[in-house]
Structure 1
Amino acid sequence: MRNQNNNIIILPHFERLSVIFIFYIIFCINLNSQEIRIDDLKKHIEILSSDEFQGRKAGEKGADLAAEYIRKQFKEIGLVPITNEYFQCFNVISEIQATDKNQLKLKDTSFKLYKDFIPLSFSSNSSLKSEAVFVGYGFDIKTKNIEWNDFSNVNVKGKWVIMLLGHPELEKSDSKFTNYSDARLKVLTAQDKGAKGIIFIAGVSLNKKDELISMVFDKSDTRADIPVINITRAVANYFISDTNKTIEKLESDLNKIQKPLSFEIPVTLEATADVVFKKSPTCNVIGMLPCQGSDEYIVVGAHYDHLGLGGMGSGSRKPDTIAVHHGADDNASGVSAVIELARSLKTYEMLSSHFPAFKKNILFVTFSAEEIGILGSTYFVKNSPVDLKKIKAMFNFDMLGRFKDDRTILVGGVGTSAEADSLLDFHFKDSNFKISKSNQGFGPSDHAPFYAENIPVIFFSTGPHEDYHKPEDDISKINIEGEKEIVKHFFNIILDVVKSEKNLTFREAGPKTRSEKGRYKVTLGFMPEFGDSDKPGVGVSGVTKDSPAEMGGLVKGDRIIAIDGKKVKDIYEYMARLNKLEPGQTINIDVLRGDKVIVLIIHL
């Protein structure tokens, strides 16, 4: 020790021991602060899933409160903001409104909005005055097992088409008609036949009380090209009263014989549909733990939004219940892990005897709007605050607080890097957890847009449970001790990656597609772009190796705008076209590549 004159001072033995003891205590305190702290994990989950945060629905006050809470934590930890006050904001649709322009008339009779009719959220804002045709369930199906064409003996060109929602086997969970029952698919089918307006009715088997369907946002702001409305059975029966038929009897007969019962209706209907989307801001929260001299990054992320108060169209598994959906596991548990990993890694950096402690910068990102289509992570990737090519790995945490009896941890994206499998084996070899690995890089969470950009991803979850997307997903059900244990493992895995001079080696793992596999008979083998509904067609963000798409010449950046001469306006129309294709079929697709349209031949 030296005095003010820089002379060495020799401390007495007792004082030297006191100084050493003080430094030892400080070191122990700092070392302890590097540990994952169970009280803090619990506190974050408790606060984020509280009633005050109102279910954290993107675009609403509860999500704003959550974002501010996370920002405060990042700031206290000492993470560096690389965006405006840690926020990266974008707009989401928060409300759908039917304006007073909506009308429905038959001769001199006007019907009441919300009582007799309502526009569907994806309706075009347009009007039509025309004759009407009843077309049963609106099917045009020709497969080995089903042949049913509701349009075969009627002319619907330029007319209103009236049809039932759903399908004739609603009581069967594995009905052969399920894939043909989507409302958007039915609209597209009728539109291909020349219809200029669609009127849906809910039959008795779907809605005994004869209520109008809820006007809900279906996670896409793309619109049909024609007006689409829903009317009550009472109004529909008024329209067909001169035919001596009723909707109830028609539905019953259709369900029994499973054949068309279409007919023209001797009325002229006049209607206007007008729907307004209200948009509200929501924000990703980003904090960086910098590494001096490095221009490479890894992302440690989790989504913080949830379902708000639930209700129809929210994703709630109790859609008839309006209550705070707390989302303690989904995904306050993941956010809590991200915050405490940030705290522990920051402490490790401060205590490290090496400078810099890491070889890469670490971006801690909590995403908004995952529940309405992984919009936050998509926005981040498309508007990355750092060079996207410099992001070398992405770790995603989604639901970490509810273990099964066998203590299984689900790990996705293992095949997206050459090193992930051995990395996981090493860090979990002496644990009492069971690791269930999936190689595929794509999945229904925020790692998907990163994988689409050829970034290695690892996704961790303890999996769904009976309270998933219900109000009952609250703090009382969280296994906080178990979460602490697995977050400690995550800490060591991330530490290995950021301390290594080498990066994870990307490799393609599984189809890059959201929903082609399983539901459909064929697959093209590409991954659609997310959050690009302002552009025509369906964007291609990645093509699977050796797939029909790759062999046919489809490349990343293309936009599919037609299949076999029929337009593809958005992802819904693409899926509808895909649903009609058969294995072994050869199709042509129109692709917008840059500013040129080219035609590709693809064999399925």
Structure 2
Amino acid sequence: MKKYHFFLVFLASVLAITLSTIEVLAQNTSKPLFIDKPNTLITNSKQLTFVGSRSGEGYFSADGKKMVYQSEREEGNPFYQIFLLDLASGKSSRISTGKGMTTCAWLHPNGKKAMWSSTHLDPKIAEKVKAEYTERAQPVKKRYSWNYDDQYDIFESDLSGKNIKRLTKELGYDAEGSYSPDGKWIAFASNRSFYTDELTAEEKKIAEQDPSYMMEIYIMKSDGSQVKRLTHARGYDGGPFFSADGKKITWRRFTPDGNRAEIYTMNVDGSEQQSVTRLNAMSWAPFYHPSGEYIIFGSSILGYANFELFIVDANGQGIPIRVTFADGFDGLPTFTPDGKKISWTHRNEKGESQIYLADWDHEQALKLVIENRPLNKSALHLSPEISADDTKQIVDYLASEELKGRMTGSEEERLYTDQIVNLFKQWGLVPVFGNSFIQSFEFTSSVIATENNSIEFKGRLEANLKRGEDYQVISYSRSGDFNAAPVVFAGYGIKAPATDKLTAFDSYKNLDVKDKWVILLDHLPIGSNKELNQHLLIYSRPQHKVTVAKNQQAAGVIFVTDVGLKNLKFEGSISENTLPVIKISTKAFNRLLSASDAKVKNYSQLEQSFSTGKLTEGFSLSSQYISAKIGLQQQRSTGRNIVGKILPAVKSKKTPKSVIIGAHGDHLGQGTGIDSSLATATDKSDIHYGADDNASGVSGILELAHYYSLDAQKKQLKKPVYFAVWSGEEIGVLGSAHFTKSWKKQTGRDFNQDFEASLNMDMIGRLRDKLQVQGTGSAKEWAGLSEEVALVTGVPLTLTSDPYLPTDAMSFYLAEIPSISFTTGSHEEYHTPRDTAQTINHSGLVRVIDVVRVFTSKLAHFNSQIVNYAHVSGNSGSGGGGSRNFRIYLGTIPDYSQEGVKGVKISGASKDSPAEKAGLKAGDVIIEFNNINIENLYDYVYALQSAKPDLAVTMGVVRQGKKLELNITPVLKE
């Protein structure tokens, strides 16, 4: 809803967020949140509406001579109706029917018709009018709340209110519509998905209490046909408006808990969704200036008693600039089509809201916006030649304190991607999609805890725990209410099979945990046996421990740790889990031990005894029970790929396939938003600089893009060469997968119709004796080319054929093009804060980039196709990419981009593998293996350990909605 009244609801519900909070936020950041200096952007203001207690949402006609608005001004009707104001005569006339609830009007660009939302077809109108008057007559007024009546539909009529046509008919609140500048499209908001989507119990509960939770942005033809959903994020997405050129839409997106909102923009097809504000407040009702240079909006950043207007660069460059300076509410701003006047809604001291009109100084506004933009030139000064000086500049910049580890979707990602875009522009690269080098994609980036969270000890010890102090929910926990259940301590919670040298390790030996909470020590025992420590490492991940506990039929899992209790940490993309999972403090655990019959009453002593092996068997905490309420909501963010291309100087008669060179730019941030950090406990929250992983690879992309942008090099090219910096690699190769999977939607052609080969650079900054070229089995020609390149460059190469790699190269091989990846190998600093710029071997890095250059030239300097895709069998020793740590090999290829799938979705099976022989196909979802239920990848890991080589087992899969049972015979890892 674009409405001012949403603000009233919000104000009443979140007054705990005060101006003092904002001041603290400002004090704790190195940069101001917004520019708060007096200006004269608005002058000569006057009040336009006077009749009734509420008027708002005034939108101008295309010629600027009329305004359509909503107002409560008629006797006998307590609800808004739509009116048309002639700005020359000052006369208003009603357009809507005068019945029901009405809102959100817009005038068609042809000046002959209007669009508005209404419930006038609701058969219960009379009852609702009576109920509203009865409520208003009460001496004690209830808090105002906007009614998301499911009878709201969008209508059009002529300007006299005749010839009414219904445009939407779906059950749900359809409103907040606006026409595109050419009048062919309507953008609107709706919660219709509440009635059609499959929701979790928690989501359904939230949506029933707050219907705005399911609001999403849609677009449709102006006659109501061709409806398309544009957003898919939980929380209120609403108030969409087109830019003056019709290419963009701006809207506001609330967090799932409804406490904050930011201003977003996207293309009209829903692509490239990005926030342009980062105020961590309620930013609301955005509107493009006709110039397209900036967006005006309202925000609560100064406190909810003083809602003010701000402008911000339309691309989010720079921070917002304050526009209004009066007390009270100022919101719902709009501009006249010529951009010279502004209209907005102001609430006076009586609590009445009315529409105001004023002159707008665009030149002053544009000057302020431009002055506030970051410098448009790159901080990097690179030469056209591939040099160590260049690579050092690039790595030093990307692995700097300023970029804070380049987490996917972070503000720092926006900063460095903007820098690279500027370089691509300077060098004359061509955008791939439209006019933008940025390809954005949505991903699950975090979870938030709802109010429905509590832990209670019952029995011998009665206590209510405090979240953030005594306990914390773990992000992959199941949500719901969990009745009191008995409690068992199970040591480290590890089950590891025996090896030739080591006996089996079983924390659950002689322990019954069925339908009981299992309390576990974190990490793994650290004894003197280094071989045992290494063996237990892969079985000690928390997710794996949860999988083991689930297969022991535990009711829930509790980890004991004092790390990460204050804030809920996101562990990566979420797969469905059936167990509640929490962590409790050592202090809370000591209280449980003290009340129990356990021989050891202290956590430290217990942990030391289990770590050294003095104690190995768990025990029951008799007469002790724990109940829990857990509520989690997903939050989604936007990642940013950068893709540009260089075209041959001479255009071929026949369009050749292209070559694409890529490297991921994202890393682990400060190690706290993802669970793959290998840092120690003391430095885990430090910046993970990611110099080798993968600032080194990005330096290769920039050096090669600059090199091939030279006229002399373009003249030698016979094929287009694409250069890409991917996002989301560290959380599942999400960016490159999005690029390949969205190609057909964008172009209408299969990916392998347009691309011949992919070259990937991932961790190329530690060259020692040899450079690894991975995935050469993806085309038989790679071996011969590698032989030539090694001779030309003098760099020793080592080749591995397996194309199923846990890096971006996998995305392209799955898209059925030959794909190889270059790496100088892993090291002790991998995924730790110690992977710094100082550790890079720049002379070696230049040699690696030169290898990739020669490969590229051998592909792109010829009209003919040099390499041809080969579907090869995976290497049993590598487990087909997804199973490289397992003793058992199946040859399934996981779909690394899957989210929210119950089971393990696969993108294919290696040639001649057990999986292919069993009949597994791309798109299958594995839900059972060897009589073990599979809900996520960790279940799958656990289940594989239960199988024996050369002994057939059953596998349950879901294929196109139908469950199938297949027989599969695992083989032993070589």
Whether the TM-score (by the shorter chain) exceeds 0.5 is yes
* Residues 32-65 of structure 1: per-residue CA shift (max 9 Å, x gap): 9864355444433333333322221111111111
Pairing 1:116–2:470 present: yes
Aligned partner of 2:547 among 184, 188, 203: 188
CA contact (8 A) 2:508 2:617 kept: yes
Q: Which residue of 2 aligns with 1:51?
A: 401
Matches within 5 A, 1:276-295: 276-290=633-647, 292=651, 293-294=654-655
SS at match of 2:767: coil
Q: Which residue of 2 aligns with 1:455?
A: 817
Looking at structure 1, the residues matched to 641 and 686 of structure 2 have their Cα atoms a distance apart, in angstroms, of 25
Q: Which residue of 2 aligns with 1:426?
A: 788
SS at match of 2:441: strand
Q: Which residue of 2 aligns with 1:67?
A: 417
CA contact (8 A) 2:518 2:549 kept: yes
Alpha carbons of 1:561 and 1:295: their partners in 2 closer, same or farther (altered >3 Å)? Answer: farther
Alpha carbons of 1:450 and 1:258: their partners in 2 closer, same or farther (altered >3 Å)? Answer: farther
* Residues 185-208 of structure 1: per-residue CA shift (max 9 Å, x gap): 332333334433222225xxxxxx
Alpha carbons of 1:423 and 1:135: their partners in 2 closer, same or farther (altered >3 Å)? Answer: same
Q: Which residue of 1 aligns with 2:457?
A: 106
Counterpart AA for 1:87: I
Pairing 1:513–2:880 present: yes
Alpha carbons of 1:250 and 1:482: their partners in 2 closer, same or farther (altered >3 Å)? Answer: closer
Deviation at 1:89, TM superposition (A): 0.8
Alpha carbons of 1:452 and 1:79: their partners in 2 closer, same or farther (altered >3 Å)? Answer: same
Looking at structure 1, the residues matched to 518 and 411 of structure 2 have their Cα atoms a distance apart, in angstroms, of 41
Alpha carbons of 1:579 and 1:505: their partners in 2 closer, same or farther (altered >3 Å)? Answer: same
Looking at structure 1, the residues matched to 564 and 722 of structure 2 have their Cα atoms a distance apart, in angstroms, of 48
SS at match of 2:430: coil
Aligned partner of 2:760 among 396, 405, 408: 396
Deviation at 1:343, TM superposition (A): 2.4
* Residues 506-553 of structure 1: per-residue CA shift (max 9 Å, x gap): 232634733423x32211111111121222321221212222212222
Q: Which residue of 2 aligns with 1:504?
A: 867
Alpha carbons of 1:43 and 1:569: their partners in 2 closer, same or farther (altered >3 Å)? Answer: same
Q: Which residue of 1 aligns with 2:589?
A: 236
Alpha carbons of 1:247 and 1:188: their partners in 2 closer, same or farther (altered >3 Å)? Answer: farther
Q: Which residue of 2 aligns with 1:595?
A: 961
Aligned partner of 2:483 among 121, 129, 139: 129
Matches within 5 A, 1:259-278: 260-263=617-620, 265-278=622-635
Rg larger in structure: 2
CA contact (8 A) 1:131 1:268 kept: yes
Deviation at 1:305, TM superposition (A): 1.3
Looking at structure 2, the residues matched to 79 and 538 of structure 1 have their Cα atoms a distance apart, in angstroms, of 39
The structure with the largest helix share of the pair is 1
Q: Which residue of 2 aligns with 1:544?
A: 910
Looking at structure 2, the residues matched to 155 and 459 of structure 1 have their Cα atoms a distance apart, in angstroms, of 46
Pairing 1:484–2:846 present: yes
Alpha carbons of 1:74 and 1:601: their partners in 2 closer, same or farther (altered >3 Å)? Answer: same
SS at match of 1:551: helix
Matches within 5 A, 1:18-57: 35-57=385-407
Alpha carbons of 1:388 and 1:544: their partners in 2 closer, same or farther (altered >3 Å)? Answer: same
Looking at structure 1, the residues matched to 693 and 900 of structure 2 have their Cα atoms a distance apart, in angstroms, of 29
Structure 1's unaligned 5+ residue stretches are 1-31, 203-208
* Residues 261-291 of structure 1: per-residue CA shift (max 9 Å, x gap): 3325302322222334433211110112235
SS at match of 1:133: strand
Looking at structure 1, the residues matched to 495 and 734 of structure 2 have their Cα atoms a distance apart, in angstroms, of 33
Aligned partner of 1:417 among 768, 779, 782: 779
Looking at structure 1, the residues matched to 919 and 637 of structure 2 have their Cα atoms a distance apart, in angstroms, of 40
Between stretches 71-80 and 32-41, larger displacement belongs to: 32-41
Looking at structure 2, the residues matched to 58 and 127 of structure 1 have their Cα atoms a distance apart, in angstroms, of 33
Deviation at 1:122, TM superposition (A): 0.7
* Residues 421-450 of structure 1: per-residue CA shift (max 9 Å, x gap): 221221221544222222222333211222
SS at match of 2:883: coil
Pairing 1:154–2:512 present: yes
* Residues 531-589 of structure 1: per-residue CA shift (max 9 Å, x gap): 21222321221212222212222122222111134321121211121122222332101
Looking at structure 2, the residues matched to 598 and 542 of structure 1 have their Cα atoms a distance apart, in angstroms, of 16
Alpha carbons of 1:173 and 1:374: their partners in 2 closer, same or farther (altered >3 Å)? Answer: farther
Between stretches 523-532 and 319-328, larger displacement belongs to: 319-328
RMSD value, Cα: 3.0
Q: Which residue of 2 aligns with 1:164?
A: 521
Q: Which residue of 2 aligns with 1:531?
A: 897
SS at match of 2:816: coil
Considering Cα pairs closer than 8 Å and 6+ residues apart, tell me whether 1 or 2 has the greater RCO. 1
Alpha carbons of 1:82 and 1:301: their partners in 2 closer, same or farther (altered >3 Å)? Answer: same
SS at match of 1:91: strand
Looking at structure 1, the residues matched to 440 and 614 of structure 2 have their Cα atoms a distance apart, in angstroms, of 54
SS at match of 1:343: helix
Q: Which residue of 1 aligns with 2:331?
A: none
CA contact (8 A) 2:597 2:621 kept: no
CA contact (8 A) 2:576 2:935 kept: no
Looking at structure 2, the residues matched to 469 and 256 of structure 1 have their Cα atoms a distance apart, in angstroms, of 30
Looking at structure 1, the residues matched to 587 and 505 of structure 2 have their Cα atoms a distance apart, in angstroms, of 30
Matches within 5 A, 1:360-399: 360-384=719-743, 385=746, 387-390=750-753, 391-399=755-763
Aligned partner of 1:343 among 706, 715, 722: 706
CA contact (8 A) 2:446 2:636 kept: yes
SS at match of 1:51: coil
CA contact (8 A) 2:758 2:818 kept: yes
CA contact (8 A) 1:513 1:528 kept: no
SS at match of 2:926: strand
Alpha carbons of 1:240 and 1:591: their partners in 2 closer, same or farther (altered >3 Å)? Answer: same
Q: Which residue of 2 aligns with 1:7?
A: none
* Residues 130-182 of structure 1: per-residue CA shift (max 9 Å, x gap): 1313141345667684274727553623x433333344455544325444433
SS at match of 1:174: helix
Looking at structure 1, the residues matched to 484 and 509 of structure 2 have their Cα atoms a distance apart, in angstroms, of 17
Q: Which residue of 1 aligns with 2:803?
A: 441
Counterpart AA for 1:271: A
Looking at structure 2, the residues matched to 398 and 372 of structure 1 have their Cα atoms a distance apart, in angstroms, of 15
The structure with the largest strand share of the pair is 2
Deviation at 1:598, TM superposition (A): 1.1
Looking at structure 2, the residues matched to 478 and 601 of structure 1 have their Cα atoms a distance apart, in angstroms, of 49
Pairing 1:298–2:648 present: no
Looking at structure 2, the residues matched to 403 and 264 of structure 1 have their Cα atoms a distance apart, in angstroms, of 54
CA contact (8 A) 2:511 2:618 kept: no
Deviation at 1:215, TM superposition (A): 4.6
SS at match of 1:487: helix
Deviation at 1:381, TM superposition (A): 2.3
Alpha carbons of 1:214 and 1:435: their partners in 2 closer, same or farther (altered >3 Å)? Answer: farther
Q: Which residue of 2 aligns with 1:17?
A: none
Alpha carbons of 1:334 and 1:99: their partners in 2 closer, same or farther (altered >3 Å)? Answer: same
Counterpart AA for 1:221: I
Pairing 1:201–2:560 present: yes
CA contact (8 A) 1:95 1:279 kept: yes
Aligned partner of 1:221 among 574, 584, 588: 574
Looking at structure 1, the residues matched to 932 and 764 of structure 2 have their Cα atoms a distance apart, in angstroms, of 44
Alpha carbons of 1:213 and 1:200: their partners in 2 closer, same or farther (altered >3 Å)? Answer: farther
Looking at structure 2, the residues matched to 147 and 323 of structure 1 have their Cα atoms a distance apart, in angstroms, of 33
What percent identity do the matched residue pairs reach?
29
